[in-house]
Protein backbone atom coordinates (compact mmCIF):
# COMPACT_ATOMS: atom_id res chain seq x y z
CA UNK A 1 0.00 0.00 0.00
CA UNK A 2 1.32 3.32 -0.99
CA UNK A 3 0.25 6.75 0.24
CA UNK A 4 1.16 8.37 -3.05
CA UNK A 5 -1.45 10.13 -5.15
CA UNK A 6 -1.92 8.45 -8.46
CA UNK A 7 -1.72 10.38 -11.64
CA UNK A 8 -5.09 12.00 -12.46
CA UNK A 9 -6.43 11.97 -8.87
CA UNK A 10 -6.98 15.27 -7.15
CA UNK A 11 -7.85 16.30 -3.61
CA UNK A 12 -10.08 19.13 -2.46
CA UNK A 13 -8.36 22.47 -2.26
CA UNK A 14 -8.74 24.99 0.53
CA UNK A 15 -10.36 27.46 -1.89
CA UNK A 16 -13.05 24.91 -2.81
CA UNK A 17 -13.83 24.27 0.86
CA UNK A 18 -14.05 28.02 1.55
CA UNK A 19 -16.40 28.48 -1.42
CA UNK A 20 -18.72 25.74 -0.16
CA UNK A 21 -18.72 27.24 3.35
CA UNK A 22 -19.48 30.70 1.90
CA UNK A 23 -22.38 29.31 -0.17
CA UNK A 24 -23.83 27.55 2.87
CA UNK A 25 -23.54 30.82 4.83
CA UNK A 26 -25.33 32.80 2.11
CA UNK A 27 -28.13 30.22 1.84
CA UNK A 28 -28.54 30.18 5.62
CA UNK A 29 -28.63 33.97 5.82
CA UNK A 30 -31.45 34.14 3.27
CA UNK A 31 -33.44 31.22 4.71
CA UNK A 32 -33.46 32.19 8.41
CA UNK A 33 -35.73 35.26 8.01
CA UNK A 34 -38.19 33.15 6.01
CA UNK A 35 -38.29 30.54 8.78
CA UNK A 36 -38.86 33.27 11.36
CA UNK A 37 -41.79 34.67 9.37
CA UNK A 38 -43.27 31.19 9.02
CA UNK A 39 -42.86 30.65 12.76
CA UNK A 40 -44.57 33.96 13.56
CA UNK A 41 -47.47 33.17 11.22
CA UNK A 42 -47.90 29.74 12.82
CA UNK A 43 -47.92 31.40 16.25
CA UNK A 44 -50.62 33.85 15.12
CA UNK A 45 -52.66 30.99 13.67
CA UNK A 46 -52.42 29.07 16.96
CA UNK A 47 -53.64 32.13 18.89
CA UNK A 48 -56.52 32.59 16.42
CA UNK A 49 -57.54 28.94 16.74
CA UNK A 50 -57.42 29.21 20.53
CA UNK A 51 -59.74 32.24 20.39
CA UNK A 52 -62.03 30.34 18.00
CA UNK A 53 -62.14 27.49 20.54
CA UNK A 54 -63.05 29.94 23.30
CA UNK A 55 -65.90 31.33 21.17
CA UNK A 56 -67.20 27.77 20.77
CA UNK A 57 -66.76 27.17 24.50
CA UNK A 58 -68.70 30.35 25.30
CA UNK A 59 -71.57 29.21 23.10
CA UNK A 60 -71.68 25.71 24.59
CA UNK A 61 -71.34 26.96 28.18
CA UNK A 62 -74.21 29.40 27.60
CA UNK A 63 -76.44 26.55 26.47
CA UNK A 64 -75.30 24.23 29.25
CA UNK A 65 -75.65 26.81 32.04
CA UNK A 66 -78.78 28.46 30.66
CA UNK A 67 -77.07 31.83 31.09
CA UNK A 68 -75.26 34.46 29.06
CA UNK A 69 -71.58 33.64 28.61
CA UNK A 70 -69.39 36.41 27.26
CA UNK A 71 -65.91 37.12 25.97
CA UNK A 72 -64.67 40.57 26.90
CA UNK A 73 -61.74 41.90 24.90
CA UNK A 74 -59.22 43.95 26.84
CA UNK A 75 -57.13 45.59 24.14
CA UNK A 76 -56.12 48.73 26.00
CA UNK A 77 -54.06 47.38 28.87
CA UNK A 78 -53.20 43.73 28.40
CA UNK A 79 -54.21 42.71 24.89
CA UNK A 80 -56.15 39.69 25.95
CA UNK A 81 -59.65 38.53 26.69
CA UNK A 82 -61.80 37.14 29.44
CA UNK A 83 -64.39 34.37 29.13
CA UNK A 84 -67.00 34.61 31.88
CA UNK A 85 -70.57 33.82 32.88
CA UNK A 86 -72.58 37.08 32.89
CA UNK A 87 -75.45 36.06 35.16
CA UNK A 88 -77.06 39.52 35.33
CA UNK A 89 -76.38 40.33 31.63
CA UNK A 90 -74.89 43.74 32.37
CA UNK A 91 -71.71 43.21 30.35
CA UNK A 92 -69.40 43.56 33.33
CA UNK A 93 -67.64 40.94 35.41
CA UNK A 94 -69.38 41.41 38.75
CA UNK A 95 -68.60 39.90 42.11
CA UNK A 96 -69.68 36.28 42.16
CA UNK A 97 -69.73 35.82 38.37
CA UNK A 98 -67.55 32.92 37.32
CA UNK A 99 -64.48 33.62 35.17
CA UNK A 100 -63.95 30.57 32.97
CA UNK A 101 -60.76 31.65 31.18
CA UNK A 102 -58.40 34.61 31.15
CA UNK A 103 -56.00 34.88 28.21
CA UNK A 104 -53.14 37.31 27.72
CA UNK A 105 -51.96 37.38 24.13
CA UNK A 106 -48.26 37.02 23.26
CA UNK A 107 -46.39 40.31 22.80
CA UNK A 108 -46.19 39.71 19.05
CA UNK A 109 -50.01 39.49 18.63
CA UNK A 110 -52.46 42.36 19.10
CA UNK A 111 -56.24 42.73 19.03
CA UNK A 112 -57.55 45.12 16.39
CA UNK A 113 -60.83 45.97 14.65
CA UNK A 114 -63.11 44.90 17.48
CA UNK A 115 -66.63 45.60 16.22
CA UNK A 116 -68.54 43.89 19.03
CA UNK A 117 -70.60 46.32 21.12
CA UNK A 118 -68.65 47.38 24.21
CA UNK A 119 -65.75 45.08 23.17
CA UNK A 120 -67.83 42.09 24.25
CA UNK A 121 -69.07 39.03 22.38
CA UNK A 122 -71.75 37.10 24.23
CA UNK A 123 -74.02 34.12 23.65
CA UNK A 124 -77.50 33.47 25.02
CA UNK A 125 -78.79 30.23 26.47
CA UNK A 126 -79.96 29.33 22.94
CA UNK A 127 -76.44 29.71 21.50
CA UNK A 128 -77.24 32.91 19.66
CA UNK A 129 -75.29 36.17 19.91
CA UNK A 130 -76.43 38.48 22.68
CA UNK A 131 -76.01 42.10 21.70
CA UNK A 132 -75.54 41.49 18.00
CA UNK A 133 -72.89 40.12 15.72
CA UNK A 134 -69.38 41.40 15.32
CA UNK A 135 -65.79 40.82 14.40
CA UNK A 136 -62.42 40.79 16.13
CA UNK A 137 -59.10 40.72 14.31
CA UNK A 138 -55.80 39.37 15.57
CA UNK A 139 -52.71 40.93 13.98
CA UNK A 140 -49.08 39.85 14.07
CA UNK A 141 -46.86 42.83 14.87
CA UNK A 142 -43.90 41.16 13.16
CA UNK A 143 -45.42 40.01 9.87
CA UNK A 144 -48.61 42.09 9.59
CA UNK A 145 -50.69 38.98 8.87
CA UNK A 146 -54.21 38.96 10.32
CA UNK A 147 -56.95 36.51 11.25
CA UNK A 148 -60.53 37.62 11.87
CA UNK A 149 -63.27 35.92 13.84
CA UNK A 150 -66.85 36.85 13.05
CA UNK A 151 -70.18 35.75 14.45
CA UNK A 152 -73.38 35.41 12.49
CA UNK A 153 -76.95 36.05 13.62
CA UNK A 154 -77.46 32.28 13.91
CA UNK A 155 -74.48 32.00 16.29
CA UNK A 156 -71.95 30.56 13.87
CA UNK A 157 -68.34 31.54 14.42
CA UNK A 158 -66.09 31.95 11.39
CA UNK A 159 -62.30 32.16 11.35
CA UNK A 160 -60.89 33.90 8.28
Instruction: Output phi, psi for 133, to 5 deg.
Output: -85, 175
CATH superfamily for 14-159 is minor pseudopilin epsh domain (3.55.40.10)
Band (pLDDT 50/70/90 cuts) for residue 141 is: very high
Band (pLDDT 50/70/90 cuts) for residue 146 is: very high
Per the rule left: phi > 0, alpha: psi between -120 and 50, beta: everything else, 141 is: alpha
Question: What whole-number distance in Å separates Cα of residue 35 and Cα of residue 144?
Answer: 16
pLDDT at 39: 87
Domain boundaries, the chain: 14-159
Q: Are 103 and 120 in contact (CB under 8 A)?
A: no
Question: What whole-number distance in Å separates Cα of residue 125 and Cα of residue 63?
Answer: 4
Q: What is the DSSP letter of 32?
A: H
Give the pLDDT confidence of 1-36 residue by residue, as tens digits: 556 656 666 778 899 999 999 999 998 888 887 888
Q: Would you say the pTM of this structure is higher than 0.85?
A: no
Residue 135 has pLDDT above 80, yes or no: yes
CA angle 39, 28, 107 (to 5 degrees): 25
Question: What whole-number distance in Å separates Cα of residue 99 and Cα of residue 85?
Answer: 7
CB atoms within 10 A of CB 33: 9
Give the pLDDT confidence of 105-130 residue by residue, as tens digits: 999 999 988 999 999 999 999 999 99
Mean pLDDT of 65-77: 89
For the chain, the average pLDDT equals 90
Q: Please state, for a pLDDT cut of 70, what percent of the chain lies above it.
A: 93
Amino acid sequence: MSNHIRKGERGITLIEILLVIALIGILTATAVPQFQAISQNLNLRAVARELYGHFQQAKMEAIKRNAIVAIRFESAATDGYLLYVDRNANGAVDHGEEVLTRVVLPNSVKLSDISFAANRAAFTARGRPSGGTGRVTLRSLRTGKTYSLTTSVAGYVHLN
